[in-house]
Amino acid sequence: CLDDEGKVHEFDSSWRTDDCNDCSCSRSGIDCCTSYATPVDYDEEKCESIFNKETCSYKVVEKDDHSKECPVHSWVG
């Protein structure tokens, strides 16, 4: 399989991209999906979501104080 970056992958192999997608290669081609959940139900006026590319995860924190996490009631992914 040849991925979007021009790298060759063996059949039945899997990998994580720099953009935090989990991909796998089979004889029918490459299949990729996000490796993280996205917060969708939180107080967007008071809080903001920040994506950490190193851990491939979101953190939801108060806009005025990033040391305080906000409750998230629903995630998708």
Q: Are residues 13 and 42 in the same domain?
A: no
- Number of domains into which the chain is organized: 2
Q: Are residues 50 and 30 in the same domain?
A: no
Q: Domain containing 70: what range?
A: 38-76
Q: Which residues of 54-68 are buried (b: 16+ CB within 10 A; e: fewer)?
A: eebebebbeeeeeee
Q: Are residues 54 and 31 in the same domain?
A: no
Residues 55-68 have pLDDT tens digits of: 999 999 999 999 99
Q: Are residues 52 and 25 in the same domain?
A: no
Q: Are residues 58 and 72 in the same domain?
A: yes
| CA trace torsion 54, 57, 60, 61 (10° rounding) | -20
Residues 7-21 have pLDDT tens digits of: 999 999 999 999 999
